[in-house]
Structure formats: structure tokens, C-alpha cells
Amino acid sequence: MQRIAPPSIFLVALMTFPVAAKGPAYTDAKEAGIDFEIQGEYVGDLGNGDDKVRYGIHVIAQGQGKFRIVGYHGGLPGAGWNGEDPVKVDGEFSLQDDGSVTFKDKHGTGILSQGVITCDLGDDGTVDGKLKKVIRKSPTLGQKPPPEAVVLFGGPDDAKLWEGGKVDDEGYLMQGVNSKQRFGSHQLHVEFRLPFMPEARGQGRGNSGCYLQGRYEVQILDSFGLDGKMNECGGIYSVADVDVNMCYPPLSWQTYDIDLTAAKYENGSLVANPRITVRHNGVVIHDDVELPGNRNTTAAPLKAGPEPGPVHLQNHGNPVRYRNIWVVEKDS
């Protein structure tokens, strides 16, 4: 089968901005504006007959009417993408009087209306495909703790289970806390929501971190549409990139399901490094990765050692929110 040329008009306006850019941080979709409504995941078939191919697209808000758009051949990450390098091209958009949005570059035009991008790749008036907006949810979202679990946050009253624990007006746990209970080897379920910060960039965009034992950081960051590096969402900071970037758009509730086997010590000496498996939104992004046993993965509340440690949810100044947090302890 012959592949059609990628629909580059939609596959992304890649722009350069200063890393330190800031701006508003929205936690309520009703206040986030039209850029928030436009951003998201789109998927559909492009081309005709034997040339028809599946594409997934990330439309990423960059503030002030600018967007990045990243395209994935085969479908969305974790849902059909074949692993080829994502396609990224420059483009621009304009808001029409009827409320639709037109994306245009030298390769064609796309019109976004009511959650569907209608594609005209040759600018000849022909519809070459339609990409529909989808809102994915993690298969473990809202998962109930098993009877043997230690519930760390099931509602506002559980803020008392955390050092510095506070909840916001919606009753969600705020960042910058340590669990009072400490753990050795364990399985952790945590749900988090990233703020919508369209003008921020890099480590200033929805930054927090989930630390196992207060030592090993699984990064939390708005990395929607990025490459999946070790300092992006799901990355094990300073240790490992993710196998696939499963970060959903900001203001989506997302899940980590993490299995940590703690470091093993004998007579005060390290004899086995810790190991970790991470599922992000139900997809394995780290499979039994060995962690350094003699150092933390980043600056952390607790130094490496044999003692159990807390779940630490880092405060980087961004309003990341948490809910439904529980732990199942494992035999050492």
C-alpha cells in the first residue's frame, strides 16, 4: 500500500518560545477559553481507497491563539501509533465568524468545527478525511482500593494523613505534601490533574512530581505532545525516558499505577538496587527498570537507605491536584 503524504497542515505548528514563559494557570475548564476547547486529541482516516491511512493528532495550545500540532501515523500514542517519529510542521490558524477554526499551510487546509477537523490536503475543495476529537480516560481511573490497601486520600478528611496536607475548594489534595505513613516495597495508585498553562513552557508547565519512598521521582508535568524524555511526564528523573508518552491534555484526570521493589540491604550494605514498573493511564511506560540504590533520582526529602519512606507529592509552584491515592504493601 502506498502511503499518502502526511497531512502536514495539521501535523504541527512547531514554534520556539522562552522556557521561562509563564502566564495564567487554569484549574477550571469553564474559565480556560477557546484555546482550551480547541486543544486535544483527534483521530481519523485520511486519503481515499488504498491510500487511506489512520492518523492521530495532538493539538497543543501555546497561548494567544498559537498551537503546536503533532501527528502520529497509525493512531494516537498507546492506541495505534506505530512508533515512527511524529510529524511536526509549521502552520497557523484563524478563528472564523461562524466559530470554526481554519488551519492552513502550503500543503492544504483543515477546518475544525464541532470537534471535527475536515481535511483538504490539496486545497482543491476535496474532503480528504475527517479527524474527530476524542477524550480518553485511563482504564484505572476511579479504581477502588482493595481491602488490604492503605488509603492515603479518598476525600478531604484524609488531608490529615499528610504532612502539610491541604485541600482546595473542590476537595482535592494540593501538591507539596508527604504521607505520614512510610513504606518499603509497595504498589501505588494515584490520580492527578495538571493545570492548563498555555503560555508556560518546559519545567514551568504543570510541574510536580511523585516520589516513591521520598527518594525516586516519577515526573509529573504537562508533557502533552512532547517526546517523552526523562524530565517529562512519566519519566524517571535522571534515569529513564518513557517507552511511550501517555500524557493526556491538561485538566484531564490521569493515573499512575506504580510497583516499587525497594532496595535490599544486608548488614548496612546495599546488595540489590530498587526496581520500578510504571503504568501511565493504563499503559506500561517503564517495565521493571532498575533504579540507583545509592542515590536519589533527584533532590528528594529522604536520602537513599534501607528505611521505609513516604509518598511525596512535590510542590513546584503549579496547581497540580491529586485524588484517589492508595498503597498496597508488599512483602520485603
What would the pLDDT profile of 65-97 be if each residue is shown by its tens digit? 778 889 899 999 999 999 999 988 655 677 777
Cell numbers given for 226: 512532547
Note the pLDDT tens digit of each residue in 225-284: 999 999 999 999 889 999 999 999 999 999 999 999 999 999 989 999 999 999 999 999
Q: Which residues of 158-190 are buried (b: 16+ CB within 10 A; e: fewer)?
A: bbebbeebebeeeebbbbbbbbeeebbbbbbbb
Q: Report pLDDT for 283.
A: 98
> Taking residues 303-321, what's their average pLDDT?
94
Q: Distance (Å, rounded) from C-alpha 129 to C-alpha 65?
A: 25
| Dihedral in degrees, nearest 10, Cα atoms 13, 19, 20, 25 | 50
Note the pLDDT tens digit of each residue in 9-56: 333 222 222 334 478 899 999 999 888 999 999 999 988 777 889 999
Q: What is the pTM of this model?
A: 0.89
Q: How deeply is 244 buried, as exposed, middle or buried, from its count of CB atoms within 10 A (0-12, 13-18, 19+)?
A: middle
* pLDDT category of residue 3 using cuts at 50, 70 and 90: very low
Q: Which residues of 199-220 are buried (b: 16+ CB within 10 A; e: fewer)?
A: bbbbebbbbbbbbbbbbbbbbb
